Amino acid sequence: MNYRQFLQECDLELAPSGCPGIFPPKPTPPPIPPANCTIVKNEVCGNIEQPCDGSWVEYWSTIGLPEAPSGSLIVYNGSGCTMNVRAVINGQLLTILNVTERNQSKSVTVDGIEMIEVQCLSETTGARCSGRFCLTIQYPKICGDVE
């Protein structure tokens, strides 16, 4: 096959089968050995006590973890106020739960949770918000070649 015929029959960027490519194939990278990791699981629970005035109160946040953990959050509303729960998840502030009824619980599981805060709302002046939260988180503590 001469060069002109080669150019007419073969696309130089993406060679069809039977036509040689102009770039050598990329070498296959060596497989990454599995890391030995210790997974830590923590349960953090606390009481929610605040005025039902629309202010946001932080109840939990990460400090000093190499990466944000995955977690399951349960929020219990023990008052007549509406509870809005928001969290920083992978760097974004998102509303994750609305617990609207007295004695109601709601839960959510997320990956990359960094902070949790609660807002309580009521039409009654001077109302107090009360409830409870429990957060179960998991994250790698030691990763690498451990012998």
The pLDDT score that the predictor gives to residue 39 is 83
Averages of pLDDT over runs of 10 residues in the chain (147 residues) are: 57 56 68 73 96 97 89 96 96 96 97 96 93 94 61
The pLDDT score that the predictor gives to residue 54 is 96
The pLDDT score that the predictor gives to residue 17 is 60
Domains of the chain by start residue, with CATH:
32-144 (2.60.120)
**Integer angstrom CA distances of residue 81 from 39, 131, 132:** 37, 10, 13
Backbone φ, ψ for residue 7 (5° rounding): -65, -35
The pLDDT score that the predictor gives to residue 2 is 59
What's this model's pTM, rounded to 2 decimal places?
A: 0.71
